[in-house]
Structure 1
Amino acid sequence: MLKDSQDRYGIVSRIMHWAMALLIGLQLLKFFDRINDGEHWVGKTLVPTHVSFGSLLLVLIVLRILWGISQRNQRPEQDPASAKLVKAGHGMLYLGMLLMPITGVSIMLGNGYGLTVFGTELVARGTDIPWAASLGSLHSPLSWALALLIFGHIGMALLHHFVHKDDTLKRMA
């Protein structure tokens, strides 16, 4: 089943969800960069891919938003009692996921570093752009907020699966 249905999410939604979950999980390893100034195996092996994976995530997030809009009338139904909370939670997740790469690119361009993605220079080094650097300064606080939202999302999925014993988690698995 390619598209979403009232019973479960389709293969496109599930692949995008889990691919993004994996990439975001790798991105969150950047928090380890704060330990010993990144001088450990995580900092040396995974952090150098941070900008490339973040750029890939930006593309995936935009595609996933467009896909979600196209599937909005076919999605599994929500419990009416919690539908507004679920939509608000997912809205904040999407906003956070969208703002992270935007503010990340703002750091790179705002500080004149340029932008190289998977070894390809997209924007050459240049002069500082103060407004972009200022926007980029939101990247770190947003990462903490997004991490909390993600852990809340995981917690709610587990609550539905183990406590409510409904099919919420199975719809995306």
Structure 2
Amino acid sequence: MLKHSPTPSDTTRIAAVNDRTQYDSISILLHWLTVILVLAQFALAHTWGFAPKPTRHLMIVSHMSFGILLSAVLITRIGWRLTPGHQSRASASGWAETAAKGVHYLLYALLVGEAVLGFVLRCSGDESMSFFGLLIPAPFAPTDKATHHAIGEAHDFIGWAIIVIAAGHAAAALFHHFVLRDDVLRRMLPGEPGDA
């Protein structure tokens, strides 16, 4: 009987299980929570203008609530990633590893900046934040209209930047999965790398 010799793909899968290239379940959960909340935030912000007033108000309040929730997820995610034992080895080396790390760090920076700007935007307009009905008063005095407008523009610009870069990040993961047929996408899916 002929024995099956391992292919490069088999070797990659075996190595991925044994050398910590798979993300842990908490990292995977926090990643997909971030994805869902970012998409919900973007969709709410770009559709409430078409909704009637009562619905629009509910969408704006939901946007604030999800924004606070996203901030909590980001803080948890960064803290979890910095805790020893929760890092995974890079799936590539050289320029590909540098590019992947650069995109990850850029997305983290943009998400944190967007969260801060969202909070400052609301407060600069002399409006309370709302977290699922719980009002959080502004901790500082409102700014002038020009500054408030500039903060809003920056918040919108960074929101678009996050969506564009995240879409490129997702496209790269799909390219790895369907064209290169490696385990890059499987690293962030539940289960073992070879299961998907």
1:110–1:136 Cα contact (<8 Å) kept: no
SS in 2 for 1:113: coil
Structure 1: distance between partners of 2:72 and 2:86:
23
1:57 aligns with 2:73: no
Deviation at 1:10, TM superposition (A): 0.4
Unpaired stretches in structure 1, ≥5 consecutive residues: none
Structure 2: distance between partners of 1:137 and 1:72:
39
Structure 2: distance between partners of 1:71 and 1:62:
16
2:80–2:86 Cα contact (<8 Å) kept: no
Deviation at 1:48, TM superposition (A): 3.3
The residue type paired with residue 109 of structure 1 is C
The residue type paired with residue 94 of structure 1 is Y
**Change in CA separation of 1:94 and 1:132 when aligned onto 2, cut-off 3 Å:** farther
Structure 2: distance between partners of 1:114 and 1:25:
24
Greater shift after overlay, 72-81 or 16-25? 72-81
TM-score, normalised to structure 1, is 0.84
How many aligned residue pairs are there? 167
Matches within 5 A, 1:11-160: 11-29=25-43, 30-34=45-49, 36=50, 38-39=51-52, 43=56, 46-71=59-84, 74-81=87-94, 82-123=96-137, 127-130=141-144, 133=148, 134-160=150-176
Identity value in percent: 25
Deviation at 1:111, TM superposition (A): 0.7
Structure 2: distance between partners of 1:7 and 1:127:
48
**Change in CA separation of 1:70 and 1:153 when aligned onto 2, cut-off 3 Å:** same
1:107–1:136 Cα contact (<8 Å) kept: yes
1:108–1:114 Cα contact (<8 Å) kept: yes
Deviation at 1:168, TM superposition (A): 0.6
Unpaired stretches in structure 2, ≥5 consecutive residues: 1-18, 190-196
**Change in CA separation of 1:7 and 1:127 when aligned onto 2, cut-off 3 Å:** closer
Structure 2: distance between partners of 1:115 and 1:32:
20
1:15-53 deviations in Å (ceiling 9; x for gaps): 11111111111111022234x3x349x857644300000
1:103-124 deviations in Å (ceiling 9; x for gaps): 1111110110121211111215
- Larger C-alpha radius of gyration, 1 or 2? 2
**Change in CA separation of 1:14 and 1:71 when aligned onto 2, cut-off 3 Å:** farther
2:61–2:132 Cα contact (<8 Å) kept: no
Runs of 4+ in structure 1 displaced over 6 angstroms? none
